[in-house]
Structure 1
Amino acid sequence: MTTDIARHIADDGADTTETAPAVAAIDIESMAVPPLLIVHGGRDQLVPFNQRCRPYATLKSLGKDVTFYKLDNTCHACYGFCSTRALRLVFDWLSDRL
């Protein structure tokens, strides 16, 4: 099952400021950002869910075209990303933008 993170943003409370690269000097608001699709496995144990929420929330608040889907029961880079449902998600997203 997929859920649009715009309706479901969770913060696991992890503070990633120590490991995040110094990007404060970048003016993201004035950057030309192409449409972005972020897809995250709901059972991903390699990349924390929170690390996908923050970029999405930041870009969305700046009015950028960004979409985030969570694929439940999918781990990091496993076969769930090749499922009919996941591929349909990508095809539909692309169709809306081409």
Structure 2
Amino acid sequence: MIDWARVCELRDEIGAEDFEEVTELFLTEVSQCIAALPAARTPAALRERMHALKGAALNLGFAALADICRAGERAAAQGDVHAVRPAEVLNIFNASMAAFESEVAQRFAA
């Protein structure tokens, strides 16, 4: 669900303090993007939102979220706007966030 190698790599790249800021920004950005999914009624709009979500998820190591976004992006590129279920995307995000929050402190304890 979480690509911990990517999480560690990102934290090493930007430092502990900036990592917390990036995490908060990620949460805000992804939450807004998921909330906007139902309004994406055209394949192009949906593909754009799924692409943005995928990129954010990959950046922070949210592998399961990136996978569903990749599939949604492909479906939208083929014109299928019904293949993406916003509730399913939200459920994967919430499960990923719970997994991330439960383990991140342990992994980076001083």
Q: Please say whether Structure 1 and Structure 2 have the same fold, judged by a TM-score greater than 0.5.
A: no
What TM-score comes out, normalization by structure 2 length? 0.29
More strand by share: 1
Structure number with greater CO (CA < 8 Å, separation at least 6) is 1
What TM-score comes out, normalization by structure 1 length? 0.31
